Chain A
């Protein structure tokens, strides 16, 4: 049996998306061209833009197609070091930004880079469930803060932040609000007006669309500076000939999400419940990461004491089950997941964490199969472990 429980990493194409993209393969025109070939491409790109805008409650002109979620996040953060009065009308941008310790590396590393370029970056702590500290945010929100960037749903532990409340706090202090909603759009209802955000990042391949295409929502009237220059595409906000096939795929993906999302969430929540209870019943000495309720229905993150995550991942791979881990060994670095460490779990539990992320194709049979295989794998690794002590959640053998 093949089980794909790594949908937060990427998802398979929705069959309808695939159909749409195959049909569009012949459409090669440049949307910027005035002739019929170009006009055909333009019409389809703008149709997709309407779908995306509609899906998140935005105006079409507020949607910029980009190459990835990472590009969108880089664009938003980088506008901060632009001193041009053309980009930032009126006054110069304020000198500080606030983000969190559990962001995606594309936000964290860009923030670090901005730090080297004179921007002051402040990082919000999270509690044991991965929720940001709103009191800390209130304290840090001074007149120097120009932008706050908080991820809507975390890719590793699934914890969902209260973006609406955060955006209100941010706007009260005159700063701009960005949310990286790559893991949220298409899984949760997202409406940019009710969230009150100025910028929002989304990506196609997390919601059964193609890779290499994302969208950035930029609220009308807020400062903006292109990351990629040299073309009039996307109203001069992102140069480069449009990825027409990708854009079409994204448009179709959100269209399908609008149909499927509501009932799917309930179904996934039920599956997650079965998975969580099943693991709890069958395996001792485990620790669930992430928020018990404010969490993506698709995502369950568990730490197993006394075992290292890469070993679990590879034994599961042999059984046909695909998951991911917060262990350092699987990433090629020496540090375990920064997200788990930020929630306060110790390094050992972070090294022994596994993320199960389900999707629209996940089934009860798959969960049952996993529950059948997993206990044996954990037992097997624990039998050869120097670090497993039965009943000791924090096996300390040093």
Chain B
């Protein structure tokens, strides 16, 4: 007979869950140069990331966080907060969820959704730093683009659906109702579906 299997999570993830790094103590964020908050409680996860920045070099010197979230949200943000130290703002901005998941030794598909919150909040913190320092021009907006005009579904919605498990056009339609009226967006949606599958799951 087999023994109890390991968690659905890797040892690295378990370690970061058990001993999370760089948790922000208390409520005060005044000493930080950028603050980012993402997610909401109704969906069951919320994330705050704060950063200190070496203004000369635009390098992140400290990154702390807090979350209302599950094990993968806790562990992925813990490891992310280690990864970003010493990186330039631009480098840190472009850390992908896939990179974080890889550093954690992989994540179950349905948990990717929980882990993307950390880097979203990090990007919000970086943008917040730019705004505070009069560099609005550097703020990178993640402007959503409407793909399905009929149902008003954006590329962000498609990305979310992929993160939540959609792997085929049919599943994408089931989740978003995209392309269920005129159907003209099918080709573009399929390209994005493949793109996000590749970015997040390497398939």
Q: Which residues of A contact B (CB under 8 A)?
A: 306-308, 310-311, 314, 317-318, 327-330, 332, 334, 336, 346-348, 351, 383-388, 395-398
Contacts and interface: CB of A to CB of B under 8 A. Distances in A.
Contacts of A318: 18
Contact of A384 (B43, B66, B71, B113): B66
30 contacts: A307-B68, A308-B44, A308-B45, A310-B70, A311-B69, A311-B71, A328-B44, A329-B44, A329-B45, A329-B72, A329-B114, A334-B43, A334-B44, A334-B164, A346-B42, A347-B41, A348-B42, A351-B41, A384-B65, A385-B68, A386-B37, A386-B46, A386-B67, A386-B68, A387-B41, A387-B68, A395-B41, A397-B46, A398-B40, A398-B41
A302 to B, nearest CB: 17
Nearest to B108: A332
B174 to A, nearest CB: 14
Interface in B21-51: 23-25, 37, 40-48
Contacts of B41: 347-348, 351, 387, 395-398
B20 interface: yes
A384 B47 contact: no
B74 interface: yes
Contacts of B40: 398
A386 B66 contact: yes
Contacts of A388: 68
Nearest to A388: B68
Instruction: Report, as a range, how many residues of chain B touch the other chain.
Output: 20 to 34
B44 A314 contact: no
Contacts of B67: 384-386
A336 B42 CA distance: 9
A244 B114 CA distance: 45
Interface of B: 7, 17-18, 20, 23-25, 37, 40-48, 65-74, 110-111, 113-114, 164
Contacts of A351: 41, 44
A311 B70 contact: yes
A267 B170 CA distance: 53
Contacts of B164: 334
B6 to A, nearest CB: 12
Given A308-B68, A308-B69, A384 B20 contact: yes
A348 B48 CA distance: 17
Interface centre among A318, A385, A386 (most CB of B within 10 A): A386
Contacts of B113: 334
Contacts of A398: 40-41
Contact of A386 (B25, B48, B70, B72): B48
Contact of A385 (B44, B66, B71, B110): B66
Contacts of A314: 7, 17, 71
A310 B66 contact: no
A25 to B, nearest CB: 16
Given A311-B74, A332-B110, A384-B23, A306 B44 contact: no
A349 to B, nearest CB: 10
A328 B66 CA distance: 20
Contacts of B71: 310-311, 314, 329
Nearest to A384: B23
B44 A384 contact: no
Contacts of A311: 17, 69-71, 74
Contacts of B68: 306-308, 385-388
Which 4 residue pairs of A and B lie closest in terms of their CB atoms, listed nearest first? A329-B70, A387-B68, A310-B70, A351-B44
Given A329-B114, A384-B66, A386-B37, A336 B44 contact: yes
A104 B111 CA distance: 24
A250 B200 CA distance: 47
A341 to B, nearest CB: 11
A123 to B, nearest CB: 22
Given A347-B41, A347-B42, A383 B48 contact: no
A386 B66 CA distance: 5
Contacts of B43: 328, 334, 347
Given A314-B7, A386-B47, 10 more contacts: A308-B69, A311-B74, A318-B18, A329-B44, A329-B71, A347-B42, A383-B25, A384-B66, A398-B40, A398-B41
B2 to A, nearest CB: 17
A397 B37 CA distance: 10
A109 to B, nearest CB: 15
Nearest to B121: A386
A308 B70 contact: yes
Nearest to B41: A348
A307 to B, nearest CB: 7
A387 B18 contact: no
Nearest to A347: B42
B98 to A, nearest CB: 20
Contacts of B47: 386
A305 to B, nearest CB: 10
B23 A383 contact: yes
